[in-house]
Structure 1
């Protein structure tokens, strides 16, 4: 829990900005500052924001209000980013945030890969903060959930129809078996080329314990970053951080939504893997640093994706995960 007030101050600074910049590039500020505070690096937050703010753009102008009657037609319309944020701010002001999340989570899940998975990642950071905050969430944290859900709704775009390929016995094996697409163009071009993923997990495993299977997927995705990040060190971060955002959200959701959440998280991780992973692994350096030492190094490195990946790697916490965090620090350009 943040007892410094730093996170609320930082979110307040960020909520005048839109969720994107330069077209489709995402505003990583809210996610990075939440990770920094969570990882014990609150003292770096405002310096980091002072450097990052030049990349931000104002929230777009409203286009047409989103309502309970017209949300279907507004779903996936990026012109209505501000309208969606305002809609969720109204909803969360009128009802408990968990109730709003439970209503909208299954509506948004089919579009989990939208915005290069950044919207679901932003929601996962917001939910983690709200769960940490107890029964009296602060206004900036509630607003952050509204902005995250609004971003997801505005960029909502399902994956193309996919064929179920032969089943894999583990998350690691499933990721290894994901067919790679032609790796040219932006992420939207690459995702349009997807045709099928290995069937994972099987129905029995999914129903038995979706939380355990999702934990397995996050671990496998983080470990795979250590060996495959050289292909696209920024984009492959999302193969791990997207399913981890879903894992962080599970405790706030009804159990009936856990299995579809697992299925969507697998689709997101597999999609990023197909779009950006290299065909062969490469050696990676081992680290003797502890988790907190690595996260401090990520904070000093300053790259937003590196901070968020280190945050997820520390959730996994084993030796290979820490090695993967070191890979992110080594391969991604420093920002500070």
Structure 2
């Protein structure tokens, strides 16, 4: 059996020549994330085969030429470059230089508070890719240059696709997460149907958006992450009418952030979770127009005839689609911490809704 560390390094080498995005829709490069998740599931021997299939599924953009141009020590240099995807090569070069001079945990701690206002980056793929890179680094006493390069690229993608949402969330309300979700109105600003990208671009106009940002009460971060992943597993289960990929990030994003919290100062935990809640509000308003069966999701999950979690994990590991692989790893890990029927039920639903040959994701922005 191939060790986790060996599987990850081999995958990163095989994926090294791919750009940050792929296809005509500028979809995020999921290769490093899904390969790491597959190795974390204990299926390191399947990673190389999966990478070969992934490379052939869709043409990736050319990787940018690393160029010097952003001085990470000078805020007047790097702040204007946030959200400038055309400068992603400069971001990558700058982060590589910083990692050559400082331990990766120091770089993470320095840049995390600067980047969390853009948590939506690439539909959360910026922070998710960063989290997978962090887990890889933390699992290795002496990280390889390949792993450090992937960490630099993850941060670069987050910075280059930086997408701040209007307003600022703070966890100082009086509602539980479930109550705050239930109270959120799900109609477009003018009451007319709009496609998700337009709803997302006008998110600040949605009734209830700004009020929702301060609705959730403060809580232990680890417990709140469990609330987020369980509630949004239920949201995913309740919305078969929604394109099957975007709402997955309501689970995979907080599950990924859980991997990073142990490596961050405690004072960064609360603002991180607040930013995640703001992203959740945006996802709900952009991709759902009503609550459907959200209030019954937990009961429906308990009533469904769902295969055993071990069987779902095996199916997820064999599934070609990268979203299913990441969702499988996230749900399995979250279920181990807090057994809840919504995780396997949502995972079963995703494996049925997303075909084995994969589906196109939602564009980064």
* TM-score in same-fold range (> 0.5): yes
> CA offsets, 1:51-81, max 9 Å, x none?
1113223212346622133111211110011
Following TM superposition, where does structure 1 have runs of at least 4 consecutive aligned residues deviating by more than 6 angstroms? none
Q: Paired residue for 1:309, among 327, 331, 336?
A: 327
Q: Paired residue for 2:275, among 261, 264, 268?
A: 264
Report the equivalent of 2:194: 184
Q: Paired residue for 1:50, among 36, 52, 60?
A: 52
* Alpha-carbon distance in 2 for matches of 1:244, 1:187: 24
* Alpha-carbon distance in 2 for matches of 1:188, 1:59: 29
Report the equivalent of 2:137: 130
Report the equivalent of 1:95: 102
Contact 1:37 1:45 in 2 (8 A): yes
> CA offsets, 1:139-187, max 9 Å, x none?
22222111110000001120123799x9563222222333335363353
* Alpha-carbon distance in 2 for matches of 1:64, 1:187: 33
* Alpha-carbon distance in 1 for matches of 2:5, 2:124: 30
> What displacement does 1:288 show?
4.4
The unaligned stretches of length 5 or more in structure 2 are 294-299, 359-365
Report the equivalent of 1:201: 216
Contact 1:242 1:269 in 2 (8 A): no
Distance change (3 Å), C-alpha of 1:15 and 1:311: same
Alignment of 1:224-263 (within 5 A): 224-263=235-274
**More displaced 10-residue stretch of structure 1: 309-318 or 107-116:** 309-318
> What displacement does 1:16 show?
2.0
> CA offsets, 1:189-245, max 9 Å, x none?
52433341523432xx24xx2232222212221232222244231111011111222
Distance change (3 Å), C-alpha of 1:5 and 1:230: same
Contact 2:169 2:274 in 1 (8 A): no
* Alpha-carbon distance in 2 for matches of 1:159, 1:46: 37
The unaligned stretches of length 5 or more in structure 1 are none
Report the equivalent of 1:143: 149
* Alpha-carbon distance in 1 for matches of 2:84, 2:261: 27
> What displacement does 1:25 show?
0.8
Contact 1:121 1:241 in 2 (8 A): yes
Alignment of 1:294-333 (within 5 A): 294-317=312-335, 318=339, 319-333=341-355
* Alpha-carbon distance in 2 for matches of 1:272, 1:112: 12
Report the equivalent of 2:304: 286
**More displaced 10-residue stretch of structure 1: 74-83 or 137-146:** 137-146
> CA offsets, 1:251-270, max 9 Å, x none?
01011101101101111122
Q: TM-score, normalised by structure 1?
A: 0.90
Contact 1:62 1:80 in 2 (8 A): no
* Alpha-carbon distance in 2 for matches of 1:13, 1:175: 41
Contact 1:313 1:321 in 2 (8 A): yes
Contact 2:229 2:255 in 1 (8 A): yes
Contact 1:227 1:281 in 2 (8 A): yes
Distance change (3 Å), C-alpha of 1:130 and 1:62: closer
